[in-house]
Chains A and B, each alone.
Chain A
């Protein structure tokens, strides 16, 4: 069972464009994390959100946690080739974490 669905699964854009990645679930999470993973490496934490409706900004990245704490989005402004990678959301509920299906982003120079 996949608790967290991400969309789109693949995204290829030109440098300078904006994009949004979605992470959706029917389950409520106590917190949600976003990770970026580059080829040959483990996932690296970008942000943790814990409050419904919370918005966090990390330079050109904006993260939002849904009011009902069931979904989240990641928006990247003016994408750069260095943003290329696999983006993963992960939700914590009870004593477990559940990972999303992943979004593979390619930013073309």
Chain B
């Protein structure tokens, strides 16, 4: 079974530029998550989709971050304009409905450095 696919793996941009990350979840997983992870810390949820609807985007900095999952499968996360503090790993994950026993599966992450 193919895992969660993310691209690009690494990106270096200057502050105030824009960047987009792409995610393809595990086939059949209705729930898709975008997390931001600062080195050495636990992941912080940015946005959670159930199919193509947003379940939780309370921690998404909406003045600069946006995400979409138009057809309920692939998703993109965009940052515009980027700030230095956006340097982090952006993890995409997917799961069946987050019910008892179900598990989140992560992609390898997209590493962003803003200079």
Contact = CB atoms under 8 A, between A and B. Distances in A.
Interface of A: 6, 30-31, 33, 35, 40-45, 48, 50, 86, 88, 90, 92, 94-102, 104
Interface of B: 4, 31, 33, 35, 40-45, 48, 50, 55-56, 91, 93, 95, 97-109, 111
B2 to A, nearest CB: 14
A108 to B, nearest CB: 18
Given A41-B108, A42-B109, A99 B101 contact: no
B41 A92 contact: no
A42 B104 contact: no
A50 B98 CA distance: 12
A27 to B, nearest CB: 14
For A6, A40, A41, A97, the residue with the greatest tally of chain B CB atoms inside 10 Å of its CB is: A97
B102 A31 contact: yes
Contacts of A30: 99-100
A97 B104 contact: yes
Contact of B99 (A6, A88, A92): A92
A62 B101 CA distance: 18
B104 A90 contact: yes
Contacts of B105: 45
Nearest to A39: B39
9 contacts: A42-B93, A42-B106, A42-B108, A48-B103, A86-B40, A92-B98, A97-B33, A97-B95, A99-B35
Contacts of B102: 31, 92
Contacts of B43: 43, 88, 99
Given A42-B91, A88-B42, A104-B40, A95 B97 contact: yes
A42 B33 CA distance: 13
A90 B41 CA distance: 13
A3 B17 CA distance: 34
A72 B67 CA distance: 33
A48 B41 contact: no
